[in-house]
Amino acid sequence: MKLVVSNFRNFAHVTLLCALGSALISLSAPSKAATTTLTIGGTPATSAIVASTYSFQPTAKDSANRQLTFSIYNKPIWAYFDRTTGRLWGRPSSGNIGTFTHVTIRVADGYGLLATLPGWTITVTSAPVVSVLANTPPTISGHPTTAVNAGVAYSFTPTAADANNNTLSFSIRNMPVWATFNTASGTLSGTPEAADVGTYATIQISVSDGKASVSLPAFPVAVNQMSAGNATLDWTPPTENTDGSVLTNLAGYNVHYGTSPDKLTQAVKVANPGLTSYVVDNLSTGTWYFAITSYASDGTESSNSGVVSTKIL
């Protein structure tokens, strides 16, 4: 056996040669121990606002996973510090307004390794002043009816809106004695009687958002005496349901009428299925439109018949 040693001083490589020439064995020298590293990082905020929470959490890593301990230098008097996690936090007050310099956080692994985060400055300022948006007055619009017959229901509701989405309330001046007023919706309504005939002038509806108020132009409402005009309606009773079956539970009719074919706002109930004619009284001069519906004993109502009209002179 022959032992050949090269670079013997550092034990870098040893070669053992066998006399039989049948084997070649190489032995490498042991490697050096790995180096342990410790790092700390993070970007702390450099400003804080009075009455708001300031917080900074650094990141630290030890390649050997050793227990770490944090420390701080030049900690602001209004702040707290956690030596286990390295977290710095607090809520400065108005008495802390100013600059806190050279705040420095360090971390140690207990085995002699130490890492330091570059020092930084924290400037405490007062809370920004929140500007109050200028109030936009509400809007109101609408065209109230200025005449109504005694014995006929009257109703008007204005349209109102507010750009600031404030709650709106309504008010009225010179409200007719026969009417009522809804302060939440602005609706003026009522049914004048024969004793209320006359003109009610300078009625004015206003809306307020709590800060500003706007009004509709003043308007009158004239209550007219009931007209003696009338219209006689004749119809043929229905005998079948819409499905073609025999109608057996007819209970009566509803006479719908108004001054527009699209707005038959008034109605009279004829609770006698045997009647085929009805006289509508107290119609003012002008053109009136009429339609008939039938209803069953369970309250089910049919659709309108064809609309007919007549002119009252």
| Domain end among 125, 156, 177 | 125
Closest by alpha carbon to 177, among 203, 152, 157? Answer: 203
CATH number assigned to the domain comprising residue 293: 2.60.40.10
Is the same domain home to 273 and 299?
yes
Q: In this structure, is residue 133 part of a structural domain?
A: no
* Residue 162 to residue 2: CA distance in whole angstroms: 106
Query: DSSP secondary structure string, 246-280?
Result: BP--EEEEEEEEESBTTB--EEEEE--TT--EEEE
Split into its structural domains, the chain has a count of 4
pLDDT in tens, 25-75: 344 444 444 688 999 999 999 999 999 999 999 999 999 999 999 999 999
Range of the domain at 108: 38-125
* Residue 148 to residue 49: CA distance in whole angstroms: 65
Reported residue count of the chain is 313
pTM of this structure? 0.37
SS3 96: helix
Give residue for tokens 């917080």.
55
Is the same domain home to 92 and 78?
yes
User: From residue 128, how far is each of 75, 131, 146, 187, 230 by CA, in Å?
Assistant: 25, 9, 54, 44, 74
* Residue 292 to residue 257: CA distance in whole angstroms: 9
Closest by alpha carbon to 104, among 75, 61, 68, 62? Answer: 75
**Residue 25 has what pLDDT?**
38
pLDDT in tens, 133-166: 788 999 999 999 999 988 899 999 999 999 999 9
| pLDDT over threshold 60, residue 20 | no
pLDDT in tens, 218-276: 999 999 887 668 899 999 888 888 788 888 889 999 999 998 998 898 899 999 998 99
